[in-house]
A and B are shown apart, each in its own frame.
Chain A
Amino acid sequence: MTDARSPLALKIVAGLGLLFLHLPLAFIILYAFTTEDRSYAFPPPGLTAKWFAVAWERPDVWEALALSVKVAALSTAMALVLGTLAAAALARTKFFGREAVSLLLILPIALPGIITGIALRAAFSLADIPYSFWTIVLGHATFCIVVVYNNAVARFRRLSPSLVEASMDLGADGFQTFRHVILPSIGTALLAGGMLAFALSFDEVIVTTFTAGQQRTLPIWMLGELLRPRQRPVTNVVAVVVIAVTALPILAAYYLTREGEAVAGGGK
Chain B
Amino acid sequence: MTMSATPVAAPPDGLLRRLSDVLVVRRGFYLMLLLVPPLLWLGVVYLGSLFALLAQSFFSIDEFSGTIVEEPTLKTYGELLQPANLDIIVRTVLLSTVVTLLAILIAFPIAYYAARYARGRVKALFYVAVMMPLWSSYLVKVYAWKLLLAKEGAVGWVMNAAGAASLLDGWLSLPLVGGPSLSVSYTGMVLVFLYLWTPFMVLPIQAALERVPGSLIEAAGDLGADPGQTFRTVVLPLALPGVVAGSIFTFSLTLGDYIVPQIVGPSSLILGQVVYTQQGNAGNIPLAAAFSVVPVLIMGLFLTVAKRMGAFDAL
Cα separation A31 to B276 with both chains bound (whole Å): 30
Cα separation A118 to B120 with both chains bound (whole Å): 44
Contact A112 B253 (CB under 8 A): yes
Given A27-B148, A85-B37, A110-B299, A251 contacting B128 (CB threshold 8 A): yes
Cα separation A209 to B262 with both chains bound (whole Å): 14
Residue numbers in A under 8 Å from B198 (CB-CB) = 17, 20-21
Residue numbers in A under 8 Å from B152 (CB-CB) = 39-42
Given A185-B1, A219-B137, A86 contacting B34 (CB threshold 8 A): yes
Contact B133 A25 (CB under 8 A): yes
B75 interface hit (Cβ, 8 Å): no
Contact with B along A203-215 (1 / 0, CB 8 A): 1011001100000
The chain B residue sitting closest to A243, CB to CB, is B136
Residue numbers in A under 8 Å from B171 (CB-CB) = none
The chain B residue sitting closest to A249, CB to CB, is B135
Q: Which of A85-127 contact B (CB under 8 A)?
A: 85-86, 88-89, 93, 95, 99, 101-116, 118-123, 125-127
Given A21-B130, A21-B198, A219-B139, A142 contacting B46 (CB threshold 8 A): yes
Contact B115 A1 (CB under 8 A): yes
B23 interface hit (Cβ, 8 Å): yes
Q: Which of A43, A115, A172, A235 contacts B256 (CB 8 A)?
A: A115
Contact A101 B262 (CB under 8 A): no
Contact A114 B142 (CB under 8 A): no
A48 interface hit (Cβ, 8 Å): no
B16 interface hit (Cβ, 8 Å): yes
A3 interface hit (Cβ, 8 Å): yes
Contact A110 B248 (CB under 8 A): yes
Counting chain A CB atoms within 10 Å of each CB, the highest count among B34, B198, B209 belongs to B34
Contact B35 A85 (CB under 8 A): yes
Cα separation A166 to B11 with both chains bound (whole Å): 15
Contact A226 B38 (CB under 8 A): no
Contact B35 A173 (CB under 8 A): no
A150 interface hit (Cβ, 8 Å): yes
Contact B11 A173 (CB under 8 A): yes
Q: Which of B299-315 contact A (CB under 8 A)?
A: 299, 303, 307, 312, 315
Q: How far is the CB of B230 from chain A (nearest CB, A)?
A: 11
A176 interface hit (Cβ, 8 Å): yes
Residue numbers in B under 8 Å from A93 (CB-CB) = 27, 31
B288 interface hit (Cβ, 8 Å): yes
Residue numbers in B under 8 Å from A53 (CB-CB) = none
B150 interface hit (Cβ, 8 Å): yes
Q: Which of A139-181 contact B (CB under 8 A)?
A: 141-142, 145, 150, 168, 170-176, 180
Q: Which of A22-81 contact B (CB under 8 A)?
A: 22, 24-25, 27-28, 31, 39-43, 78, 81
Counting chain A CB atoms within 10 Å of each CB, the highest count among B55, B109, B137, B212 belongs to B137
Counting chain B CB atoms within 10 Å of each CB, the highest count among A81, A89, A122, A210 belongs to A122
Interface size of A by Cβ–Cβ distance < 8 Å? Answer: 102
Given A175-B20, A196-B135, A111 contacting B8 (CB threshold 8 A): no
Interface window among B77-85, B162-170, B172-180, B289-297? B289-297
Q: Which of B51-82 contact A (CB under 8 A)?
A: 52-53, 55-56
Contact B38 A85 (CB under 8 A): yes
Q: Which of A119, A171, A176 contacts B50 (CB 8 A)?
A: A119
Residue numbers in B under 8 Å from A120 (CB-CB) = 45, 49
Contact B35 A142 (CB under 8 A): no
Q: Which of B5-44 contact A (CB under 8 A)?
A: 6, 8, 10-11, 16-17, 19-21, 23-24, 27-28, 31, 34-35, 37-39, 41-43
Contact A226 B147 (CB under 8 A): no
Contact with B along A176-196 (1 / 0, CB 8 A): 100010001100000000001
Residue numbers in B under 8 Å from A121 (CB-CB) = 279
Given A1-B217, A108-B46, A89 contacting B135 (CB threshold 8 A): no
The chain B residue sitting closest to A221, CB to CB, is B139
Q: How far is the CB of A17 from chain B (nearest CB, A)?
A: 4
A256 interface hit (Cβ, 8 Å): no
The chain B residue sitting closest to A28, CB to CB, is B144
In the A-B complex, the 3 residue pairs with the smallest Cβ-Cβ separation, listed nearest first, are A112-B256, A174-B20, A173-B20
Q: Given A24-B195, A115-B50, A219-B137, 6 more contacts at CB 8 Å?
A: A1-B116, A1-B212, A174-B24, A223-B259, A239-B144, A242-B137
27 contacts between A and B (CB under 8 A): A1-B210, A3-B116, A25-B133, A25-B136, A25-B141, A27-B147, A28-B143, A31-B147, A41-B153, A42-B154, A85-B35, A88-B34, A103-B307, A104-B46, A104-B47, A106-B315, A120-B45, A141-B41, A145-B41, A171-B10, A171-B11, A173-B21, A206-B258, A219-B138, A239-B140, A243-B137, A247-B136
